[in-house]
Amino acid sequence: MNLVATRWWSMLFMPSCVLMIGIALGVFLMLRAWRRGKRPGEARFACWLTAASVMMLYLASTPLVARWAAWTLEKDYPPVDVKTLPVADAIVVLGGAMYATKGVDGVVHLYAHHAGDRFETGLAAFEAGRAPLIVFGGGETGVPGTPTEGEWNRQRAIARGVPVERAIAGPKALYTADESEGIAAVLEDASARTIIVCSSAMHLPRAANRYRALGFQVIRLPCDFATRAAAETWSWALLIPRGLGLAQVDSAVKEWMGRVASEGHESQKSGGSALSNQLRKRGFDIRDKRNPQQSPSLVNTRT
């Protein structure tokens, strides 16, 4: 989990930021109403805004709500025994786990932190014979002199017994979108069409959609779970707010936003393709008189 967002503006839509803005705005409006004299309507709205923002911030910070938010994403992706997975052409292990710390003497320590289970679960699937190829994605740590996560995991896999020619590092990537496009090019070179996508259970719905959109048959392999699913129990401690709870709610909202956006994009594309097919059946040629690649116009080809 990155403390500093790579897309800083996306944090403006997260519950933590939205609710803090709500509290600040409510306090500002209360002070303004007080300074401008008796304005009960304005003061009442400011009080309601402040109270509602504080209450929602409390709820979003509780482990109870954090657990529910993660469950909405993970409920369709329970743990899987890798030995029961269908055989595929390749296993794709998404990045997001490599971190680096640099000492004052220049020594750099690389380690797996958040989402480190992706490597272990993907490697377990390879060792179970689920695919002859394993591809590692990921970006950089931001610390000069460190390898990309894909290359780092490739070397770790080779050290654990994976043949050199069977482990591939994907190109450097920063986001899920460019990671999937870079790995897709690697998979195309390897003639892989059916893939096992291994990622955190909360992130897997969005990741799987990306690879399906690129034309691959996807077998989902969840890991790095944020909830205990069927093993969850009730405790009054679930009502005690924690920063980790709020961070998990932010992560869940981020995944839902990405999932809705990607599904909407794919629906638009599939809808456009369906319309094009219908028009062709009726005798229309879909083309642009100036540029056949863009801004299509309709030309009736029936005589």
User: How confident is residue 294, by pLDDT bands cut at 50, 70 and 90?
Assistant: very low
Ordered DSSP codes for 214-254: TT-EEEEEEES-SS-GGG----GGGGS--HHHHHHHHHHHH
pTM equals 0.80
User: How confident is residue 67, by pLDDT bands cut at 50, 70 and 90?
Assistant: very high
Residue 175's pLDDT is what?
83
User: How confident is residue 259, by pLDDT bands cut at 50, 70 and 90?
Assistant: confident
Q: Express each pLDDT in 137-156 by its tens digit.
A: 998 888 988 999 999 999 99
Residue 38's pLDDT is what?
64
pLDDT of 289 higher than 50: no
Query: Domain 80-224, what fold?
Result: Rossmann fold (3.40.50)
Q: Left if phi > 0, otherwise alpha if psi is -120 to 50, otherwise beta: which for 110?
A: beta
Percent of the chain with pLDDT over 90: 67
